[in-house]
Amino acid sequence: MKSMIFLVLMAAGSVAVAQQRKTPIMGWSSWNTYRVNINDTLIRKQADALVRSGLKEVGYTYINIDDGFFGYRDAQGAMQAHPQRFPGGMKVVADYIHSLGLKAGIYSDAGAVTCGSIWDNDRNGIGAGLYGHEEQDAWQYFREWGYDFIKIDYCGAGQELDLDEQPRYTAIRKAIDKVEREDVEINICRWAFPGTWAKELAASWRISGDISDSWASVKHIVEKNLPLSAYCRDGHFNDMDMLEIGRSLTESEERVHFGLWCMMSSPLLVGCDMTTIPERSLALLKNRELIALNQDTLGLQAYPVQVLDGTYVLVKDIERRRTPVRAVALYNPTDTVRRISVPLAELELAGKARLRDLFAQEDLKAVEDSIVATVAPHDVVIYRVEAERRLEPTRYEAEWAYLPLFNDLGKRKKEIFYAVEGKASGGRVVRYAGGCRENAIVWNGVWSDKGGKYEMTVSYLPTENRGLEVVVNGASVQVPLSADSVVTLPVVLHPGNNTVEMTCRTQWAPDIDRFTLKRTGDE
């Protein structure tokens, strides 16, 4: 993981305060190509290849050893490496990785058994998980062996022990904290967005089941991540899983895979054999302008502003917030060629817009009014757009909002979630908000240039026996619902960022589609 250091110079006395913000980790992981069939020589060769291929130079700095290194626990319970695969133990491998100027990652399970013991018949994975050995393993992995990253899987804790995710990962985090290595990075691998608590414990969390070397899998993971942009913040990232680039995807599918992992600020872990990676795939992985989107210091995930006819337009701020510079992706997951057109106003941009194609790394002719591109099936174009003006936003979709009580674990019925809904403006509504004050839909960045009075129009699906409370910067109003699925209310916004919440203390709120804002005057 690369860290950016921001120096804030305070005039009086010129005191420099360094503040660290993390970006998604970049590197290589053994799982996609080798599964549990890994060994010392193989890992060293891949580490060498990462350096030789120039990937290290553009930011890929982690070599992550996934499942398959486990041997047995000795009489004291200490984990030993697989005697045939890693005859010299795991420390020498980490030392070698470090000697190349790289960081080393390792793997375990929150329960007693690993996923490999269940799915890959790796008998050594039985009893190899962290369960009952939290502090012992943490000390060994991070202090004795010197690893810098750990991915913590859930097969043993889930399928076998049926533990609750939040307390289980919290206990593990506490054990790792005792090792006193603040640089150790944790990835929660629970194959679904685990809940907003995860940000207290981990730098990233998987949001889907395992990726496979197929177009259907890439498309599915993008779809799953579309409504999760609000959870990518403050140096915490939605993990879309390891890359399948350099294997069997077509050229355009690889563009989608890499381009959208960059737009959505996912960790970038190469998953192919780097000693034989095709030139074309290597060049893609080394595209510095796309990497810059992934490693952008704002650390934001692009969100869908236009969903039309099976195509998507995604956008995010880069470099600085709320300027006329933004990254935009026009994504066509369908099986036919599409002409995708998006008005600049939908991107909150106006005036002449200069476009730079980030795959070709070339400037295009400036446009006005809208951005239009013909996009091949299973393909994407990604532009850095620099317009003349940034407009005040007028629309806030429910699928852009933060839901404090959201998780995707599917353990309880009727929990708040982003429901696919054809009639909704962005293709989704938020269902099952309400029931208590905290179970809200929260838009944290409702922006007003100058502050003032606005007319807010809330759109929702028609339903009976629902109530709606709209809370603007902490001040709550009860909103009467009407039969025609829209309700309008006056609100006052401060200049800059405002917070809007929708909830209901006594019953469910209706399924919320979005709200729009129209300025009506000064405060």
Chain residues that interact with ligand GLA, rule: CB under 6 A: 31, 66-67, 114-116, 153, 189, 191, 210
d(CA 283, CA 130): 39
Length of the chain: 523
Q: Which is nearer to ligand GLA, 129 or 259 (CB)?
A: 129
d(CA 173, CA 134): 9
- Give yes or no for a contact between 487 and 466, defined as CB atoms under 8 angstroms apart: no
Torsion over CA of 294, 297, 301 and 306, rounded to 10 degrees?
-90
CA angle 122, 47, 180 (to 5 degrees): 75
Least distance between ligand GLA and beta carbon 300 (Å): 25
Least distance between ligand GLA and beta carbon 173 (Å): 19
Q: Which is nearer to ligand GLA, 244 or 469 (CB)?
A: 244
Q: Which is nearer to ligand GLA, 167 or 209 (CB)?
A: 209
Which backbone phi and psi does 311 adopt, to 5 degrees?
-110, 160
Which residues, other chains included, contact 476 with Cβ-Cβ below 8 Å and sequence gap of 6+? 469, 470
Q: Assign residue 451 a region: left if phi > 0, alpha if psi is -120 to 50, beta otherwise?
A: left
Which backbone phi and psi does 515 adopt, to 5 degrees?
-135, 155
Which of 322, 321, 269 lies closest to 296 in space, CA to CA? Answer: 321
- Give yes or no for a contact between 218 and 249, defined as CB atoms under 8 angstroms apart: yes
Q: Which is nearer to ligand GLA, 116 or 259 (CB)?
A: 116
Least distance between ligand GLA and beta carbon 241 (Å): 7
Q: Which is nearer to ligand GLA, 31 or 205 (CB)?
A: 31
Least distance between ligand GLA and beta carbon 67 (Å): 3
- Options 210, 273, 357, 449, the catalytic residue: 210
Torsion over CA of 383, 387, 392 and 396, rounded to 10 degrees?
-10
- Give yes or no for a contact between 42 and 87, defined as CB atoms under 8 angstroms apart: no
Amino acid code (one letter) for 464: E
Q: Where are the beta strands (DSSP E) in 432-479?
A: 441-448, 452-460, 468-472, 475-479
Torsion over CA of 389, 392, 398 and 404, rounded to 10 degrees?
100
**Residue written as token pair 């305070």:** 10
Q: Which is nearer to ligand GLA, 135 or 210 (CB)?
A: 210
Helix (H) or strand (E) segment spanning residue 42: helix 40-52
Least distance between ligand GLA and beta carbon 471 (Å): 38
Least distance between ligand GLA and beta carbon 203 (Å): 16
Judge whether 210 counts as a catalytic residue: yes
Which residues, other chains included, contact 452 with Cβ-Cβ below 8 Å and sequence gap of 6+? 492, 493, 519, 520, 521, 522, 523
- Options 66, 67, 137, 153, the catalytic residue: 153
Q: Which is nearer to ligand GLA, 67 or 165 (CB)?
A: 67
The tokens for 376 are 């091949």
Least distance between ligand GLA and beta carbon 174 (Å): 23
SS3 content of the chain, % helix, strand, coil (to 5): 25, 35, 45
Q: Which is nearer to ligand GLA, 237 or 359 (CB)?
A: 237
The tokens for 345 are 């106003």
Which residues, other chains included, contact 278 with Cβ-Cβ below 8 Å and sequence gap of 6+? 246
Q: Which is nearer to ligand GLA, 187 or 297 (CB)?
A: 187
- Give yes or no for a contact between 481 and 487, defined as CB atoms under 8 angstroms apart: yes
Least distance between ligand GLA and beta carbon 416 (Å): 25
Q: Is 288 helix (H, G, I), strand (E, B) or coil?
A: helix
Judge whether 153 counts as a catalytic residue: yes
Least distance between ligand GLA and beta carbon 263 (Å): 22
Residues recognised as catalytic:
153, 210
